């Protein structure tokens, strides 16, 4: 998932990923839930997307990119769900996160 950045693909589902990996869907769900500790496939994918977005927002070389571009590049389909997921995960908005991280650099 991380090396190929499959999480960035539009329409990614547990079924499509299982087919790509050639494993039964139930096994993939079990790995995501039990071994990786995520409550479901969407939480796993959003976690990877948010991790990428955090790195991009903290990168001084990418300060010229709008938050929307970073969200879309990470695999989110629109800014609303990205902002909500980001704030739920970090406690701050993406803009505040970027401002804080870039002030430290």
Q: Is residue 1 one of the residues assigned to a domain?
A: no
Please give the structure tokens belonging to residue 6.
């499959």
pLDDT band at 1 (very low <50, low <70, confident <90, very high): confident
Q: Is residue 46 one of the residues assigned to a domain?
A: yes
Q: Is residue 42 one of the residues assigned to a domain?
A: yes
Q: Is residue 54 one of the residues assigned to a domain?
A: yes
| Proportion of the chain in helix, strand, coil states, percent, rounded to 5 | 70, 0, 30
18 has pLDDT over 80: yes
The count of C-alpha atoms lying within 13 angstroms of the C-alpha of 56, restricted to the half-sphere facing its C-beta, is 20
Q: Is residue 89 one of the residues assigned to a domain?
A: yes
6 has pLDDT over 90: no
- Predicted TM-score of the model (pTM): 0.87
Q: Is residue 95 one of the residues assigned to a domain?
A: yes
Q: Is residue 41 one of the residues assigned to a domain?
A: yes
Domain containing 60: what range?
6-104
Domain count along the chain: 1
pLDDT tens readout for residues 26-49:
999 999 999 999 999 999 999 999
Which own/partner pairs from 90-95 qualify as long-range (CB within 8 Å, at least 24 positions apart)?
Answer: 90/50, 90/54, 94/53, 94/57, 94/67, 94/70, 95/67
Q: Is residue 34 one of the residues assigned to a domain?
A: yes
CATH number of the domain at 37, please.
1.10.10.60
pLDDT tens readout for residues 49-102:
999 999 999 999 999 999 999 999 999 999 999 999 999 999 999 999 999 999
């Amino acid at each position: 998932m991380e090396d190929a950045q499959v999480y960035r693909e539009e329409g990614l589902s547990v079924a499509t990923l299982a087919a790509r990996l050639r494993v039964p869907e139930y096994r993939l769900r079990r790995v995501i839930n039990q071994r990786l500790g995520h409550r479901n496939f969407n939480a796993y994918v959003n976690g990877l997307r948010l991790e990428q977005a955090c790195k991009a927002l903290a990168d001084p070389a990418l300060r010229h990119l709008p938050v929307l571009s970073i969200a879309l590049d990470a695999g989110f389909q629109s800014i609303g769900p990205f902002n909500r997921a980001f704030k739920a995960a970090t406690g701050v908005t993406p803009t505040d996160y970027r401002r804080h991280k870039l002030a430290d650099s």
